Amino acid sequence: MNNASFVSHAELADLLRRLSEQAEVWVPTRQAMTPHRPMFRPFQAGMDLDFQPMPVTSAKGVLFPQGEELLKFRKEKSLSEATVTTLLWEDPAVFRPTIVFGCRPCDARGFLVFDRAFLQGSFVDPFYKARRDKNLVVSMVCPEPDAACFCGAVGSHPADTEGSDVQMIPVKEGYVLHGLTEKGQEFLKNVENTPSQAQQEEARQVWTSAQGSVDSGASLTDDAQHFFKRFADTAFWRFHTERCLSCGVCTYLCPTCYCFTLTDETNGVHGERLRSWDACMFHHFTQEASGHNPRPTKAERFRNRVGHKFSYFPEKHGRFACCGCGRCLRHCPVGMDIRAIVRALGESEEVHD
C-alpha cells in the first residue's frame, strides 16, 4: 500500500487536538454513562479514547443529527381581510467540517446507504449534502469482531475500505494510516511520520488477519431472494416477531436507518420546522390522518424492516441497506436476530397461528 503514515499511541492525542482546530473530530470515547462501551463524541483534550470495542452508537448522527431545525416561520394575521399568512425563511446554516475518526468499516459503509437515499435520488437533501461535502471518514480495521458481527454475510469484511477516506490499522506501537481518496491523502499531510518497514509488514499482517476473521461464506443474498415468497405468510412473520417489543432501539442504533419525521414547534406567532429521527418499528410511523394504518402490527412493521434492508433497497440501489455491524442484535432487549429471520425466509418450515 502507498501513501502511508504512522502515528504512535503517544502522539495520537496531539494529532486529534490539532485536527480539532480545523474540524469537529468525532471519536469513540468512554464516559460515566457508558463505562463499558464507547460512544462517539466530539473530541476534547483528556478524553478516555477507546477504539477496541464496537461503539454503542454509530457515527450517523454526525451527518444526520437526531434533531435539527430546517427552517423558521412566522404567522401574520390580517384583521381587515380575516386571513392568516405564513412567512417562511431559512437561516443560512453554517456547517463546520467534520472528521469521523476511528469508526468501524461497517459504519463507513453505512454512510453509502445514506448517500443513496439523500444524494442520488430525484431530490438532494441540502442539509445532508452540506455536511457530507465537509466530512472525512477515518475507519479502523476491526480488531476483534464479536459473535453479533455479520459484515461477511452482507458482502463486506472487517478490513473493508469502502466508504472510507483513510484507513487506520492498529499495530503494537500505534497506527499505520493509508489515504484512500483525494481527501484522505490530503489528510495524511497532518501525519508526516512514515512507517518503518517492520510497521508496514505488521500492518499488512493485521489487515490480512482481519479480512478473514468473519465468515463470508454464509451470505444472506440467497436467503433474501425468498422475501416475496414469504411476504403474505402472516403466520411466519408473527412467529418470528412475537417477542419484539417495538422499542425501536434497533433502528436508532442502526448505521443505515434514516427514517425521520417533521414537526412544527410554535411559540406564539413564531415557529420552527424540525426534523427528528423516527423509526418504522413504531406504530404511529405509518399512522394516517384518517386513522388507517397500513402496518398496524409489529409483524407487518418487522416485515417491512426486513424487506427494506434485504429486498426493496437492493433491488433499487444494488446493495443491502444493512452493513452487518450487529448492533440490532447486540443491544436488542429481547435478542431479536434479523440474520435468523432472513435465513428462515428460504427454509421450508411451516408456521401455524
Q: For 288-322, what is each residue's pLDDT tens digit?
A: 999 999 999 999 999 999 999 999 999 999 999 99
Q: Are strands 83-89 and 98-103 parallel, antiparallel or unpaired?
A: unpaired
Classify residue 225 by burial, with Cβ atoms within 10 Å: 0-12, 13-18, 19+.
middle
Contact 5, 196 (CB under 8 A): no
The whole-number pLDDT of residue 36 equals 77
Within the chain, which residues score under 50 in pLDDT?
Answer: 1
The whole-number pLDDT of residue 76 equals 80
In order of 258, 304, 348, the CA distances from 227 in angstroms are 22, 10, 13
The whole-number pLDDT of residue 148 equals 92
- 28: nearest Cα among 140, 126, 189: 140
d(CA 347, CA 349): 6
d(CA 106, CA 151): 7
The whole-number pLDDT of residue 350 equals 63
The whole-number pLDDT of residue 153 equals 94
Contact 111, 163 (CB under 8 A): yes
Q: Left, alpha or beta for 123 (phi > 0: left; psi -120 to 50: alpha)?
A: beta
Q: For 128-171, what is each residue's pLDDT tens digit?
A: 999 999 999 999 999 888 999 999 999 999 999 999 999 999 99
The whole-number pLDDT of residue 347 equals 82
